[in-house]
Every structure is written in C-alpha cells, then in structure tokens.
C-alpha cells in the first residue's frame, strides 16, 4: 500500500527492529530518515534502501534540536533503546542513567522537538516502541528497564490527551521477545544468546514489528491504533509466584 504520509524519522535505525522499519516504510513510499550512532551500518542501509542517514545518538540534544529545525517529518518512530543486566539490588548508577536517558528521556525530547511541527501542519503520526516489560513484572528483567518502558507507556497515553482535536495520531507498539542483537549485547556473546533465547523458541522477528508499524501508519486517518501488544504465539504473560515462609 502507499502511505498518505511523505516523510519519516526512525531512531535506533542501524540494526534490528529499526533497520526493518526503515526498509518497510521505504517500501511504503516514504522518504525515510534513519538516525543511529553506527555510521557504517547506516551507510549500508542507505545503499540498500535510499534512506537519508543521520549518524548521532538520541541523547545528543544539540544535534537533535538542529535536526528538528530543518526537518519536518510526518511520521516519528521512537525506536532507539537499551537494556542492561541486573535488577535494582545490583544495578549501577551508570546503568540507571543510560536506560532512563535513552529509553525515556530521549523519547520525551524527540516528541517535544517534532510534535509541534506536526500540530502546526495538522498532519503526523508518532509511534513509540515500548515493551511488555513496561506493563508486566517478571523475573530476569532489569528494574530500570521496566521503569523506563512504563514511562513510555504513560507518555504515549498523555500525548493523546495533549494532541486531542488534531490530526496527529499516537501509537504505542509493545513487543514481547523479538530476535535482535540486544540479547547478544546483554550476554556479551550473540552465539550464546541465540542458543539460550532463540534456538528452541519461535520468537518474533524484527520484520513482524515493522509490518505492524506499516499497518498502523497506513490506516485511514479516521482510525488511530493507539496500542498494539505483539507476542509470539507460544509466549504467554502472567503467572504467580509465592515464596515459601522460612524460619
């Protein structure tokens, strides 16, 4: 299908879900701007798709501000994110700061910088990639990561209130386990991550998330898919643990 929008900006675009979003939105006919830190991967993606690349971090506020002043975009996809090992009992100050800065604060700044132009043009769509970690508590997840993604969920809800009455739509995409490099970075070994998390499980693929975003972006203007939770067919949420009483 051909999108009613013309331009898109995707953060965290050099690999995984972000790169697939760039490919899919380009296929939909948008001029896609890909933002990430890895210039070599961005260059390869540019050669493949024809996207416009911006090699910077989402915590580069000065760079993002300059970009927003010269780049009107119809679709903003806040995809960039990090994860870290550990929970609140053994995490570090650096881990907490990094997760909040990249996963939440950057989303706030990107929205603050680009949403006013959408409102002025009365045209736009903001897509925030959160996580099931922002909605459910489960063992093994970093506490600050869960908190940062919960913040993205709350932000998405509040944005719809503030954009009420305009033609700017807001969608939150909340994926469960997706086969990306993030697990390899956590373990420091992608082969180990592949064996531990994916070889024996049928997980989501980055293209599944990109296809979902294409669907919501290309939906009729009268329709806003406000929230989409995407799970592998054989992954379930919930469960109750009860610790035994000890002497």
Q: How many domains does the chain have?
A: 1
201: its two tokens:
């499980």
Tell me the pLDDT band of 196, cut-offs 50, 70 and 90.
low
Is 245 domain-assigned? no
Kindly state whether residue 172 falls inside one of the protein's structural domains: yes
% of the chain residues with pLDDT over 70: 91
* Residues annotated as catalytic (active site), given as ranges: 145
Q: Do residues 124 and 115 touch, judged by C-beta distance below 8 A? A: yes
CB 121 within 8 A of CB 6: no
User: Is there a domain that residue 67 lies in?
Assistant: yes
Average pLDDT over residues 203-228: 95
* 242: in domain: no
Q: Residue 170 sits in a domain of what CATH number?
A: 3.40.50.720
**Strand duo 31-36 + 124-129: pairing:** unpaired
**Per the domain annotation, does 39 fall within a domain?**
yes
pLDDT tens readout for residues 230-242? 998 888 887 777 7
Residue pair 25/9 in contact by the 8 Å Cβ criterion: no
| Predicted confidence (pLDDT) at residue 184 exceeds the cutoff of 60 | no
- Residue 156: in which H helix or E strand, if any? helix 143-162
Facing residues of 152 across strands?
A: none
Does residue 226 register a pLDDT over 80? yes
Domain-located, residue 180: yes
Smallest CA-to-CA distance from 58 within 112, 118, 110, 116 is with 110
The answer to whether position 137 is within a domain reads: yes
| Structural domain contains residue 203 | yes
- Give me the domain span that covers residue 18: 7-230
In the predicted model, is pLDDT for residue 202 greater than 90?
Answer: no
Kindly report the average pLDDT of the chain as a whole number.
90
Q: What digits encode the pLDDT tens for the residues 21-74?
A: 999 999 999 999 999 999 999 999 999 999 999 999 999 999 999 999 999 999
């Amino acid at each position: 299908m051909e999108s009613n929008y013309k331009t898109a900006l995707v953060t965290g675009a050099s690999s995984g879900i972000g790169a697939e979003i760039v490919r899919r939105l380009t296929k939909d006919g948008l001029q896609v701007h890909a933002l990430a830190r890895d210039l070599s991967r961005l260059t390869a993606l540019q050669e493949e798709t024809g996207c416009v690349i911006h090699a910077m971090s989402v915590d580069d506020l000065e760079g993002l501000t300059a970009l927003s002043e010269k780049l009107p975009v119809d679709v903003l996809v806040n995809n960039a994110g990090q994860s870290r090992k550990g929970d609140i009992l053994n995490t570090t100050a650096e881990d907490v700061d990094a997760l909040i800065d990249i996963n939440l604060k950057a989303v706030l700044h990107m929205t603050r910088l680009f949403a006013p132009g959408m409102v002025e043009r009365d045209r736009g769509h903001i897509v925030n990639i959160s996580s099931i970690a922002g909605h459910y508590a489960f063992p093994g997840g970093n506490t600050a990561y869960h908190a940062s993604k919960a913040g993205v969920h709350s932000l998405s809800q509040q944005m719809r209130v503030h954009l009420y009455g305009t033609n700017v739509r807001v969608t939150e995409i909340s994926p469960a386990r997706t086969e990306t490099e993030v697990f390899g970075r956590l373990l420091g070994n992608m082969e180990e991550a592949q064996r531990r998390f994916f070889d024996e499980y049928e997980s989501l693929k980055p293209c599944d998330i990109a296809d979902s975003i294409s669907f919501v972006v290309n939906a009729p203007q009268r329709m806003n898919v406000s929230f989409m939770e995407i799970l592998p067919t054989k992954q379930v949420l919930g469960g109750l643990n009860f610790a035994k009483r000890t002497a």
